[in-house]
Chain A
């Protein structure tokens, strides 16, 4: 096995000189003897721990084996008794029809509603699939210009938040004196609150509303109108991860406080300085889709194939870095130096652009010599690499794009970094081309400074009422930072409108349960001239009330002026606002009702005509005065805090789908951990799963270690958003809260760059990582070449085995016949970013259960589609490739031939079918599957779904019970629905009539599904491309899935091949 690659080379070597890179899963694999070690071989060949669950921990410790006899008898006796009881007569079931059936409902047929995702403030459009009045799946709205049909991991998972059993279900009052808690009716709560508000109004008191970033104009207007009742009222918006420095730097350098729109779809070279724009930065779905447009090789002539380039400098290995053609690990804060070094090369050394004659620019850049910076950082390839990069950027000026800054690069220099990024974009003439500063919608920004001001006002007893909504400063802010907790005690009335009693709400006088966004009206204004509507798709599940409704009711009680006076309720308010603004500006000849209906149906209204060319803004050189002086970083170990694509700031920590989603890079579920690069780990003498203590100026936190290749040797990193104290059963105490490491400088939160000490504690904590689950034991499954190799021979990396070159490989099985359809899939490894949105989409669509941390450790993770991540190159600066692995629906399926009860069979449309009611759980099929994509139900996992969570099941898919096997079905229920529709119309299913769940949500359109019997279908065309390959072709299973070879746009000099 060890020499597999070499064998392959021997057989194909006579024709090509291509040397495939060696792919590895974990750094331990790089030891030469790894895969020849029989112990390792046995361990890795095992798919599961075979021992009873409750004993695994002991077994791990004292290598005892076997089953306690007494326990066995107890268990068997009990289960026999159970089995015979369950055979009693079929239970009586009731049918409860509607009293008055809503006209639009047909039982068994879904309704779709267009709405707007409110999981973050981007404002992506969603289509909500409703069955019998309950949302069961979210999909991106294809008519929405922001996300264009795709949805991210969090958007997909936000459905589960609706059904979270830990949601607050009735208003609550906390009595300050004795700390007691009492539930109220809404009327009691309103009466009490209104009388206190009236008192505040009468004495001319101060009212503050603390919210997250508000994405809708009408909500913002309502808050403003509510506040205008009082003598002093102010809305403070605060979200911890918001990149406020971007707009601030834009204002300084260009004079307008905007968050520009970045046109990745037009950039030939993208340079990212720490900005993880593919999963967490600003508007990731939009940007991922834009970027992927330039990464598609299908349909191009290989000899002249074109591909954009992505170069990354980052302190944490992010999804963006993983997809970069060139990636350089740096320390937090180095982003600025790289940016200025590049500017130095361009303007000072090469005298390019109009800035070459600008003495202020020249002098500001003078101390940032690339040689000095490259050697300080220890940059691979040295300053020559920077010079090459600068030259490349200059060559592509107007067609390149520099982006920078995210949570992991929020250091003291975060603001300066944005100035430098703007400078680079202006030097390279990207401003006004790939950077569009004219589409700002007036969405407001989170501001730490205003939160700090609020805290000091509260501290000095100036604030009479504080209303909190979707902001959780007590979880985020370290105790000593603003003293927010103490300050809250000095506010006489605190009302928290929240979906749960979170850390901040626990200190509020009143906690009023808020609607989930799928229960509420609303709007968003993501870009200039782009308005998105949010409509409820389910009646409130609990006695909750929208934040806006509460403000409206109170405003009315206070005799408020403006729209609050005329609007009956929040829905009416929203309509009235639209009538006065969007409808008025639309100049439509329709009545408002018609206009409203039509926008509601589509979900979005665009007032933008055609594709306007953005104006070029002038860079103000004077802003360079704000650049810091060059100071070398001295910290031995710098701490990077970062946000995970699934967890963000921790707001949805109670979402089990997100908690169990394997991280794209580390593959760890359920916890956060300290990422340490191999070199530093060796120096500190720590290993995977060691618990270490992080210490910095009095802050001490214990956290388990994950060995993460690709980090700078002076950097450790850990994700925020974990260790919630009050969010619910799922999220409480999952992971470690690292927000205490936050600092503040210049009225901004500082996440990264803090110097820390790492000390071993001697304790261990087993992280639930999936990376070694279901491995293919070092068999080559990935094809990975460079663009120049691709141009010479796109099939260079194909694992061709000589005997497979026979036209027809002999097989002992009769051939299947496909008379009408044959379903197949093509996956483009080149544009798959590994973000994992498909994993959650599949989970929601196919009722895939959550198994919990302990079962993930036992290798019983249930995801039907798993994103495998492979490294190549050196562990210090590896290259990565992601491979979505799912049932390959083989033509010669090894699982089918070993099933003793024919529970897995081939159907006449090429699907490999798993029949749950036939399966007896021998697991032979799983054992015989070379792709390791079959999942076994060791338990009745569905039983962990409590109360309202059961409403999230998809009624078209069987919920599987204990003891049976399951796997990807190619969304057979969607195939069936499509065929049903086609039959109704008397036609055949056409290409593109339906999409599988994974394909539908993919931000980069990396998955294509369709009928491969039809040579004109997109999937057939993809499969016919020269760089398409089947995984493990040598075993002649003839999969129905083809993968497109990963192609990296890098030349020999940069390529790490052969190291």
Chain B
């Protein structure tokens, strides 16, 4: 016959409550953060894609120059900014901050917006080569004064496109050139396409 003392009982109840509370807190906190959709943090410099890509019509690849060569689109190094800003808008306080960073050799620490987990391999290169436009995933960057994560960037979101459900029509047309209203899978959906 096992005897349980009063203290043990209290301890047991307390433990049960603690575990319960933590589990609920964990669950509540976990699920809404699976996607960072809508994330638009403040950046160290108020760089405006609207101004650069929209109003000034600078091509995306001018700054994100590795997008066709590498898995990374790459954030431009300061020397790329200075190509223009050694003469353009040099009196703006932000540009002066930029120029100072350049002359001090101190990089700007941007806050990362689009981020995939470490166990995901995503090559920009292959997607761009298939004709996926930047806007398809990043939204209408030309209208964004502050960059924001438009798409969910969740696995389900990736798969919808790979299966051909949300694929941009020009990509579908490229993969099924002789089909009138193309449908169907456009890219591999095996696990190790993205995870290894």
Which of these binds chain A: B53-61, B70-78, B132-140, B168-176? B70-78
Residues in A whose Cβ lies below 8 Å from that of B110: 94-97
Interface residue B107 (Cβ < 8 Å from any Cβ of A)? yes
A916 & B119 in contact (Cβ 8 Å cutoff): yes
A915 within 8 A of partner (CB): yes
Interface size counted on chain B using CB atoms at 8 A? 49
B4 within 8 A of A: no
Instruction: Give the contacts of A71-116 with B (CB-CB under 8 A).
Output: 73, 76-77, 80-81, 83-84, 87-90, 92-101, 106-109
Does B13 interact with chain A (Cβ within 8 Å)?
no
Interface membership of A563, Cβ < 8 A: no
Determine the chain B residues whose CB is within 8 A of the CB of A107 once the complex forms: 66, 70, 72, 74
Chain A residues with CB below 8 A from B66, complex form: 106-109
CB <8 Å contact, A915 and B19: no
Q: Measured between C-beta atoms, what is the minimum distance from B88 to chain A in Å? A: 19
Structural contact, A83 and B125, CB atoms closer than 8 A:
no
The reply to whether B29 and A97 contact each other, CB–CB distance below 8 Å, is no
| A959-B196 Cα distance, complex, nearest whole Å | 9
Question: Which one, A431-439, A510-518, A668-676, A906-914, is touching chain B?
Answer: A906-914
Q: Quick check: is B179 within 8 A (CB to CB) of the other chain?
A: no
Contact A108 B190 (CB under 8 A): no
Contact yes or no, B79 A88, CB < 8 A: no
Q: When chains A and B are docked, how far (Å) is the Cα of A969 from the Cα of B143?
A: 43
Question: Which partner residue on chain B sits nearest A100 by CB separation?
Answer: B79
* Shortest beta-carbon distance from B158 to chain A in Å: 13
Total A-B residue pairs with C-beta atoms closer than 8 Å?
132
Chain A: minimal CB distance from B78 (Å): 5
Interface set, chain B 116-150, CB cutoff 8 A to A = 117-119, 121, 123, 125-126, 129
- Distance between Cα atoms of A972 and B195 in the complex (Å): 10
Q: Does A2 contact B (CB under 8 A)?
A: no
Q: Inside 8 A of A101's CB, which chain B residues have their CB?
A: 77, 79-80
By a CB distance below 8 angstroms, the chain B residues around A918 are 191
A83 & B22 in contact (Cβ 8 Å cutoff): yes
B25 surroundings in chain A (CB, below 8 A): 84, 87
* B86 interfacial by beta-carbon distance below 8 Å: no
CA distance A959 to B126 in the complex (A): 24
- Asked if B102 lies at the interface with its beta carbon under 8 angstroms from chain A, I say yes
Q: A80-B19, A97-B75, A908-B190 are in contact. Are A106 and B196 (CB under 8 A)?
A: no
* Interface status of A980 (Cβ within 8 A of chain B): yes
Asked whether A106 and B69 contact (CB < 8 A) given A98-B78, A905-B191, the answer is yes
Q: Are B196 and A109 in contact (CB under 8 A)?
A: no
| A667 to B81 alpha-carbon distance, docked (Å) | 57
Which one of A84, A915, A983, A984 contacts B195 once the chains associate, using CB atoms below 8 Å? A915
Q: Which of B71, B117, B126 contacts A108 (CB 8 A)?
A: B71
Complex Cα distance, B70 from A980, in Å, reads 10
Question: Interface residue count for A (Cβ, 8 Å)?
Answer: 45
Q: Please indicate the chain A residues that have their CB under 8 angstroms from the CB of B69 in the complex.
A: 106, 109
Q: Compute how far the CA of A22 lies from the CA of B86 in the bound complex, rounded to whole angstroms.
A: 78
Residue of A nearest to B115 (CB): A93
- Whether a CB of chain B sits under 8 angstroms from the CB of A973 is yes
Contacts of A77 in B (CB 8 A): 15, 18-19
Which of B29, B70, B80, B109 is in CB contact (< 8 Å) with A87?
A: B29
Q: Mark B1-45, 1 if CB is under 8 A from A, else 0.
A: 000000000000001001100110110011001001000010000
Q: Which of B26, B75, B115, B119 contacts A917 (CB 8 A)?
A: B119
CB within 8 A of B75: which of A89, A95, A972? A95
State how many angstroms separate the Cβ of A520 from the closest Cβ of chain B: 25
The contact of B196 among A90, A908, A969, by CB within 8 Å, is: A969
Contacts A84-B22, A106-B70, A107-B66 given; indicate if A94 touches B195 (C-beta within 8 A).
Answer: no
* Contact of B180 with A by CB under 8 A: no
Which residues of B sit under 8 angstroms from A81, Cβ to Cβ?
22
Please indicate the chain B residues that have their CB under 8 angstroms from the CB of A980 in the complex.
123, 125-126
CA distance A93 to B113 in the complex (A): 8
Once A107-B70, A907-B191, A916-B195 are accepted as A-B contacts, the answer to whether A92 and B26 lie under 8 Å apart by CB is: no
Q: Are A87 and B119 in contact (CB under 8 A)?
A: no
Contacts A/B (CB < 8 Å), 5 sampled: A80-B22, A93-B112, A99-B101, A107-B74, A976-B196
Seed contacts A96-B108, A913-B190, A958-B195; 16 additional CB < 8 Å A-B pairs: A77-B18, A83-B26, A84-B23, A87-B29, A92-B112, A95-B110, A97-B107, A98-B107, A99-B77, A106-B69, A107-B70, A905-B190, A915-B192, A915-B195, A972-B192, A973-B196
Q: State the B residues within 8 Å of A (CB).
A: 15, 18-19, 22-23, 25-26, 29-30, 33, 36, 41, 66, 69-72, 74-80, 101-102, 105-112, 115, 117-119, 121, 123, 125-126, 129, 188, 190-192, 195-196
Binding site for B on A (CB under 8 A): 73, 76-77, 80-81, 83-84, 87-90, 92-101, 106-109, 905, 907-908, 911, 913, 915-918, 956-959, 969, 972-973, 976, 980, 983-984
